[in-house]
Amino acid sequence: MKFILSVVIATSSLFAAVSAHAIVKRDAAAGPHWDYSGDKTGPDHWGLLDPAYVTCETGMQQSPIDINKETLSRFVQCAKKALTFDYKPVKDAVAHFTGQTVEIDWNPGPKSHNNSIAIGKKQYNLIQFHFHTPSEHRINGRHAAAPGPPQPRRQVPGCHRRPPQAQARNVPFFHYLTALQKKVHADKRASAVAAAPGTTSAVIEELLKDSICAGTQPTSEEATKVNYPLPIVDFAPLVRALKGFTPRWEYSGSLTTPPCSENVAWNVMHDPYPIGLDQLRALVDLQGYNARDIEDSRRPAHE
């Protein structure tokens, strides 16, 4: 199974994910409850939940998008210059389920190295990364099974494309996905997650087959209390394999979750990076469907 990473860098004073703008860590209690499937709390209603979320409804440069011949001619650019990464292993991180996504974050100390990317003369620090199933962005109409890790916005999100085939062998970088799932079940806090609509084996098989999820994500409050400590997270294999994240697609968009702030510089990686079959199953089991719909139609005819 493979996916494409995206780097989000936001250029506004707001926060984004890897995009070029400053980002804040997710805080589920920071605003009204939203999700991906509720009749009154799903993506079609995000802009109505709170005045701070109005851009989700009225914004004209919303993400995610489908990267295809039309969008490439209008507002998406192909970049071939490598991004400059200054990454060192992160110590004392934690993997956990937030209620919407599996997230890996950490609290850097005053003397900690700031993992960052440089775009032009600007530096953007990595503060966390998380996952979506299926990928939020599409490539020529196709989802990937899952989107990927680090995106420094002054943080990072991830995007994927449809994988050519599943990979039976698990990938060391994503070992925490199956470990977190096992810990959730071992603590007997996963009954609601395991039984949640959309996380049955049939749905997982459909996800693996067509890179499209169906159903709803788990909302178990107990599952959100389970943390899996990570003594160290080493990004070197990821950065090395993706060769400076080139080539890639660049465009100006938005956060894909409330408040949907715009002026986010997305960098969607062209070349896929593998994820193991068991790791994908663990991801789907924990978070279910958590991808916003494609937002291309909001864009002006010509940009």
Task: Kindly report, residue by residue over 28-46, the tens digit of the pLDDT.
Answer: 446 898 988 878 999 999 9
pLDDT at 238: 83
3-state secondary structure of 238: helix
Mean pLDDT value across residues 107-127: 81
Task: Please determine, for residue 296, whether its predicted confidence score (pLDDT) is greater than 60.
Answer: yes
Q: Name the more confident of 144 and 130.
A: 130
Question: Is the model more confident about 290 or about 203?
Answer: 290
In this structure, of 14-23, 28-37, 85-94, the range with the lowest mean pLDDT score is 14-23
What's the pTM?
0.77
pLDDT given at position 217: 40
On whether the CB atoms of residues 122 and 7 are closer than 8 A, the answer is: no
Token pair recorded at residue 140:
């020529």
How far apart, in whole angstroms, are the C-alpha atoms of residue 86 and residue 51?
Answer: 38
As to burial, measured by CB atoms within 10 angstroms (0-12 exposed, 13-18 middle, 19+ buried), residue 289 is: buried
How many CA atoms lie less than 13 Å away from 136 in the CB half-sphere?
A: 32
Q: Where are the domains of the chain?
A: 2-298
Q: What share of the chain is helix, strand, coil (3-state, %, to 5)?
A: 25, 20, 55
The confidence band for 82, taking pLDDT boundaries of 50, 70 and 90, is confident
d(CA 106, CA 155): 12
Cα separation of 121 and 158, whole Å?
Answer: 23
Q: For all residues of the chain together, what is the average pLDDT?
A: 74
What average pLDDT does range 36-61 have in this prediction?
Answer: 93
Question: Domain 2-298 falls in which CATH fold?
Answer: Carbonic Anhydrase II (3.10.200)
- pLDDT tens per residue across span 149-172: 544 333 234 332 333 344 778 889
- For residues 80-99, give the mean pLDDT: 89
Contact 294, 138 (CB under 8 A): yes
98 CB-near residues (< 8 Å, 6+ apart):
26, 28, 130, 224
User: How far, in Å, CA of 285 to CA of 281, rounded?
Assistant: 6
Q: What is the mean pLDDT of residues 265-276?
A: 82
Q: Give DSSP secondary structure letters for 243-297.
A: TTT-SEEEEEEE-SSTT--EEEEEEEESS-EE-BHHHHHHHHHHH----PPP-GG
